[in-house]
């Protein structure tokens, strides 16, 4: 039996309590404390099992608990650690918090083994609390409590190509002909009741996977029919093959079918609807007229395929002839090919230039790892920019990269075309290598350092992007010294805030108090050792505000929404933090950037930063500095998760900022500012 959804309860182990006891030895009437520490509670771990393809087991067992740590014992004996519980799931399982629906982790790609809930730490025994004034402490620390969650498990099959279409159009027949899959085939509706997978084996390639889902009908996105249960299974696909009954054997209009299915895909997830799509006209032999295809169906389908190239033929003739599926180009024999990304880029660039009313257009290439597109892609992009360039308008490019793929050829191109470059490097080697490594698990710090030096040899001073986790926040001094060593351009600190529930964040997320302390320490180092040569973006932006100007960073401004995101499939979204269905603004192929940015939805999104502030924000004396912070970090009570950290920093830095602004306005040379502040002991 196939099941692709389940609800379960998980609980980590409680930490064992510390023990209270005292030594009892001969001739030692007043022995000291010897209570042992409690054991660690077991973790809740999710692990991918290649042998599983269904969630049916979770329909029978719904509660999963790790073992509690044991209490400490006498004679400094530590309690036994509780056993972890390892929960096996199929690849492609998405784990969500049941109440909020927020995704916690997607068990696909490199996520093969994930510690979802950490067990509680064991409490310290009374031996830890002896002092010179209290030699017989009768207190021991209790173990940390267990953590628990209600979870929703959703299985999304891992497939490269998804088959869609109305019931009984031939999807299963197609799957059986191009793969070794043996789906049930019959001439009636809803023969397919569960998703079917098939592997296309092609000589000289690794092959690829095709997913066939039960037939869609109108209203599927709203829960009508069977297809709505399985639409999630095509969310991971890179290419859609849309099979159409061109002969209308079911009494339906094939052209209307195409529009209807794509309407359902758009309603369910606009991103899916914008992916490269092949329309395969099945049963076309039934509409031949004198051996030709000169009929209204043929031309109707061709007309629909304005944005997607059409490949037509009988299902019996179908063969996928582009097995590489790189950035997914796909076609049928004797059909047409369409590389959607190239069309997207040209349309975006031409549209941008044609709509600007200001002297600079800026393209920021980021998201995932942009260098994976290859150098030829950016050479083509520069050619397109030159093709549509407007006299008097400057074109500016910025590449945000992890730095792994940079080499002499890349550096020469970036220099020649005046690209600004931002490189991700997380503070210091030990922390960076813990979180950033190759697919083979190799550390990356030394390689990135080498590639930064390569950029610098070409006269490019890259900006450094440092994510601030809880661990990074606790090493401000080392992080500062290491980043300053690179002699780079800007340093941008990006706090990690990953919500797993209302007001609750993931383990790697930085806590407000930690982030506030980090900013205070970093600010002191910057003023006393780095100003004005070492540019930390946040500090320079705030200085501009204190000088009477406005911050250019979007999250410091009163409103936002002026920086749209265009995905490689042409989808336009409100912001790079909100690439989801709710914030979809259309596709570049059928809506201009000007229309998207001036839409009511986008205006409302941008104004919400100001209009949805909490009462606490409205009464805060520092509102002009942060304007409530980034919307992505706001909780349901409208307050920013990092608010306490920002408040601590603003209070700490206010006097120094006011003095810096005063000195600069009076004409004091910037290099003398730090010396004056130190003498005046403002930090």
pLDDT in tens, 561-585: 988 898 877 888 999 889 888 899 9
- The pLDDT of residue 439 is above 70: no
Most confident of 69-73, 236-240, 323-327, 373-377: 69-73
CA dist list (Å): 669 to 548, 672, 675: 19, 6, 11
Band of pLDDT at residue 300, cut at 50, 70 and 90: low
Percent of the chain with pLDDT over 90: 41
Of 315, 310, 290, which is closest to residue 298 (Cα–Cα)?
Answer: 310
Of 295, 218, 224, which is closest to residue 261 (Cα–Cα)?
Answer: 218
Mean pLDDT across the stretch 114-130?
91
Torsion of CA 187, 193, 194, 195, to 10 degrees: 40
Q: Which two tokens stand for residue 334?
A: 């004797």
Most confident of 169-173, 276-280, 555-559: 555-559
Candidate from 52-66, 127-141, 323-337, 612-626 with smallest mean pLDDT: 323-337
In whole angstroms, give the CA distance from residue 458 to residue 414: 9
Q: How does DSSP classify residue 639?
A: -
Q: Which residue has the higher pLDDT, 466 or 161?
A: 466
Mean pLDDT of the chain: 81
pTM: 0.55
Question: Residue 278 in contact with residue 308, Cβ under 8 Å?
Answer: yes
Cβ partners under 8 Å of residue 226, min gap 6: 190, 193, 214, 215
Band of pLDDT at residue 186, cut at 50, 70 and 90: very low
* pLDDT (tens digit per residue) in 194-232: 566 666 666 666 667 777 776 554 554 444 444 445 566
Band of pLDDT at residue 187, cut at 50, 70 and 90: very low
What is the structure's pLDDT at 580? 83
Mean pLDDT across the stretch 628-640?
91
Q: Which residue has the higher pLDDT, 194 or 609?
A: 609
Candidate from 173-187, 479-493, 582-596 with smallest mean pLDDT: 173-187
Q: Which residue has the higher pLDDT, 476 or 290?
A: 476
Q: 188-195: which pairs have CB atoms within 8 A and are 24 or more residues apart?
A: 189/215, 190/214, 190/215, 190/226, 191/167, 193/226, 194/2, 194/230, 195/2, 195/4, 195/157, 195/230, 195/233
Greatest pairwise CA separation for the chain in angstroms? 114
What is the structure's pLDDT at 205? 61
Most confident of 2-11, 176-185, 449-458, 564-573: 449-458
Q: Which residue has the higher pLDDT, 227 or 551?
A: 551
In whole angstroms, give the CA distance from residue 664 to residue 673: 8
Most confident of 121-125, 166-170, 325-329: 121-125
- The pLDDT of residue 419 is above 70: yes
Q: Which residues of 220-234 are buried (b: 16+ CB within 10 A; e: fewer)?
A: bbeeebbbbbbbbbb
Mean pLDDT across the stretch 114-132?
90
Band of pLDDT at residue 532, cut at 50, 70 and 90: confident
Residue 102 CB neighbours (<10 A): 14
Mean pLDDT across the stretch 300-322?
36
Residue 333 CB neighbours (<10 A): 11
Mean pLDDT across the stretch 286-302?
49
Cβ partners under 8 Å of residue 589, min gap 6: 307, 343, 344, 347, 570
What is the structure's pLDDT at 30? 62
Percent of the chain with pLDDT over 70: 81
What is the structure's pLDDT at 333? 23
Band of pLDDT at residue 150, cut at 50, 70 and 90: very high
* pLDDT (tens digit per residue) in 642-669: 999 999 999 999 999 999 999 999 998 8
Residues 365, 368, 374: CA angle, nearest 5 degrees: 60
């Amino acid at each position: 039996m196939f099941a692709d959804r389940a609800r379960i309860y998980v609980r980590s182990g409680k930490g064992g309590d510390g023990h209270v006891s005292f030594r009892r030895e001969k001739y030692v009437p007043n022995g000291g404390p010897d209570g042992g520490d409690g054991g660690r509670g077991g973790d809740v771990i999710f692990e991918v099992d290649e042998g599983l393809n269904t969630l049916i087991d979770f329909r029978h067992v719904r509660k999963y608990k790790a073992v509690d740590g044991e209490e400490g014992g006498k004679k400094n004996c530590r309690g036994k650690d509780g056993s972890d519980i390892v929960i096996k799931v199929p690849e492609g399982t998405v784990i969500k918090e049941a109440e909020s629906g927020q995704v916690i982790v997607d068990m696909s790609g490199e996520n093969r083994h994930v510690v979802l809930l950490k067990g509680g730490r064991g409490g310290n025994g009374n031996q830890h609390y002896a002092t010179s004034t209290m030699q017989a402490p009768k207190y021991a620390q209790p173990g940390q409590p267990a953590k628990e969650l209600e979870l929703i498990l959703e299985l999304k099959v891992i497939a490269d190509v998804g088959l869609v279409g109305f019931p009984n159009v031939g999807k299963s027949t197609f799957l059986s002909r191009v793969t070794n899959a043996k789906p049930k085939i019959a001439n009636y509706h809803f023969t397919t009741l569960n998703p079917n997978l098939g592997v296309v084996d092609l000589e000289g390639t690794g092959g690829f996977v095709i997913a066939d889902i039960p037939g869609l009908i109108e209203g599927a996105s709203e829960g009508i029919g069977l297809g709505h249960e399985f639409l999630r299974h095509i969310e991971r696909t890179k290419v859609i093959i849309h099979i159409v009954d061109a002969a209308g054997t079911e009494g339906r209009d094939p052209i209307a079918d195409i529009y209807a299915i794509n309407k359902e895909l758009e309603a369910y997830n606009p991103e899916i609807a914008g992916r490269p799509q092949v329309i395969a006209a099945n049963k076309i032999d039934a509409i031949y007229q004198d051996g030709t295809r000169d009929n209204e169906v043929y031309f109707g389908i061709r007309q629909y395929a304005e944005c997607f190239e059409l490949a037509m033929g009988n299902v019996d003739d179908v063969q996928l002839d582009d097995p590489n599926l790189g950035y997914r180009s796909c076609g049928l024999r004797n059909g047409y090919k369409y590389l959607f990304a190239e069309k997207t880029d040209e349309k975006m660039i031409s549209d941008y230039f044609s709509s600007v009313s200001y002297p600079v257009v800026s393209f920021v290439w980021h998201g995932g790892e942009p260098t994976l597109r290859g150098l030829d892609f950016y050479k083509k992009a520069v050619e397109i920019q030159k093709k549509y360039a407007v006299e008097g308008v400057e074109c500016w490019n910025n590449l945000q990269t992890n730095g792994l793929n940079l080499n002499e050829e890349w550096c020469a191109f970036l220099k020649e075309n005046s690209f600004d470059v931002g490189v991700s490097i997380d503070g210091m080697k030990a922390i960076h290598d813990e979180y950033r490594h190759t697919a083979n698990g190799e550390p990356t710090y030394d390689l990135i350092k080498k590639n930064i030096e390569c950029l610098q040899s070409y006269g490019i001073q890259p900006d450094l992007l440092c994510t601030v986790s809880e661990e990074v926040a606790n090493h401000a001094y080392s992080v500062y010294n290491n980043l300053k060593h690179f002699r780079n351009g800007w340093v941008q600190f990006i706090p990690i805030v990953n919500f797993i529930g209302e007001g609750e964040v993931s383990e790697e997320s930085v806590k407000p108090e930690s982030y506030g302390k980090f900013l205070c320490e970093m600010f002191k180092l910057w003023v006393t050792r780095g100003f004005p040569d070492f540019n930390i973006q946040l500090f320079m932006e705030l200085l501009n505000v204190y000088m009477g100007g406005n911050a250019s960073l979007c999250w410091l401004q009163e409103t936002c929404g002026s920086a749209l995101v265009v995905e490689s499939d042409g989808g336009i979204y409100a912001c790079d933090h909100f690439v989801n269905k709710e914030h979809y603004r259309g596709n570049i192929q059928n809506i201009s950037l000007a229309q998207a940015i001036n839409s009511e939805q986008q205006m409302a999104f941008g104004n919400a930063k100001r209009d949805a502030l909490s009462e606490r924000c409205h009464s805060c004396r520092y509102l002009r500095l942060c304007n409530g912070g980034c919307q992505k970090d706001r909780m349901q009570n409208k307050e920013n998760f990092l608010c306490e950290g920002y408040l601590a920093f603003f209070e700490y830095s206010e006097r120094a900022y006011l003095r810096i602004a005063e000195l600069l306005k009076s004409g004091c040379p910037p290099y003398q500012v730090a010396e004056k502040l130190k003498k005046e002991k403002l930090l």
